[in-house]
Amino acid sequence: MARLREMEMMEAAEQQPRSGGGAASALPYIQSRVQDAGKIGVLIVNLGTPEATSYWPMRRYLREFLSDRRVIEVNPLVWQVILNVFVLSTRPKKSGEAYAKIWNRSRNESPLKTVTRAQAEKVAQRLAGVPGIVVDWAMRYGLPPIAERLDHLVAQGCDRMLLFPLYPQYAAATTATVQDKAFDALKTLRRQPALRTVPAYFDHPAYIDALAQSLQSHLQSLSWRPDKIIASYHGLPEDYVEKGDPYYEQCAATTRLLRERMGLGEGDLVMTFQSRFGRAEWIKPYTAETIADLPGQGTKNLVVITPGFAADCVETLEEIAIGAAEIFHEAGGENFSVVPCLNDSDISVEMLTTIIEDELQGWR
């Protein structure tokens, strides 16, 4: 097929008028595009990150993030007043302080950027033996942007794209907004690549196995046994679920499958939700309140795992590993430990590669 396309394009070029240099100047470009055609681009996308912890970089990041209609669904005119008058006057400083606690100073970037880059590089190494696959990464908010990396893949001759939002459980505020941004980028292209998107992988066997291996390994590394394990997921406003987001039920399915894989009961592994924002009711139970109550109920030793996060970030490293630990100890808890996210571990890279290979069926 590639040879047939090459012959057709060369014949078309030969039929163009040669006056004025039009065909002569275009032919090298056509030949280079034919030579590179037929590749598959895999774009791994995570949420995003500020470029620094100081006020203005934090403000730029939060403005982009909190201006997304998928993230904040209230009346946009009302919200823009609230955002610009109240939120962006105070939130950048508070968020910057949280990021500063977990900042990767050796690379001067957030851990989320460090890990996402490493995930893409290691997946690319795993797929290096498969001809014609190019792996790249992007952030939905901040840098590198989705449109830029899609352009880069197209420039390398990718006529098919696999978009991989790194969200195991689907929500419009996460998965859908990544896809929206990719679709917006494709609108600007005359020659659009074919596009596939990786669906929510909340119940994929490779994902459940990776979580179980990670949890088991962490438990074995402790000198004490937990009385209870909490699976903490990012929260979501209740009305988003009422409008049709399958997020809650997918989190519940992941938790149930992990329990079954680990041989745990419902009371041994409890699902909660963190990272509330604003005054609206969010899906429950809340992680912070649950952790505060546990010592009074006899739980003195606690392990927390965060299955909804593909990479450690401010929500796992600051909110849970630091903030939740303080809550637990102040309430009378004794031992507290957080299971690292899957990150760029071998089991994570194997899982991501398996899912990608599943989604590329029929394209290779």
Q: Could you report the per-residue pLDDT of 157-212, keeping only the tens digit for each? A: 999 999 999 999 999 999 999 999 999 999 999 999 999 999 999 999 999 999 99
Q: Is the pLDDT of residue 261 over 90?
A: yes
Predicted confidence at residue 364, as pLDDT, reads 65
Predicted confidence at residue 279, as pLDDT, reads 82
Q: Is the pLDDT of residue 3 over 60?
A: no
Closest CA to 196 of 4, 333, 19, 361: 361
Is 260 within 8 Å of 302 (Cβ atoms)? no
Beta bridge partners of 272: 232
Closest CA to 205 of 243, 262, 258: 258
Is 254 within 8 Å of 263 (Cβ atoms)? no
278 pLDDT band, cuts 50/70/90, is confident
Taking only the tens place, the pLDDT of each residue in 305-328 is 999 999 999 999 999 999 999 999
Counting residues of the chain whose pLDDT is more than 70, the rounded percentage is 90
C-alpha radius of gyration, the chain, whole number:
23
Predicted confidence at residue 19, as pLDDT, reads 40
Mean pLDDT for 338-363 is 97
Taking only the tens place, the pLDDT of each residue in 84-93 is 999 999 999 9
- In order of their start, the domains of the chain are 40-201+346-359 (3.40.50.1400), 205-338 (3.40.50.1400)
Helix (H, G, I), strand (E, B) or coil at 41: strand
Whole-number Å distance between alpha carbons of 200 and 175: 8
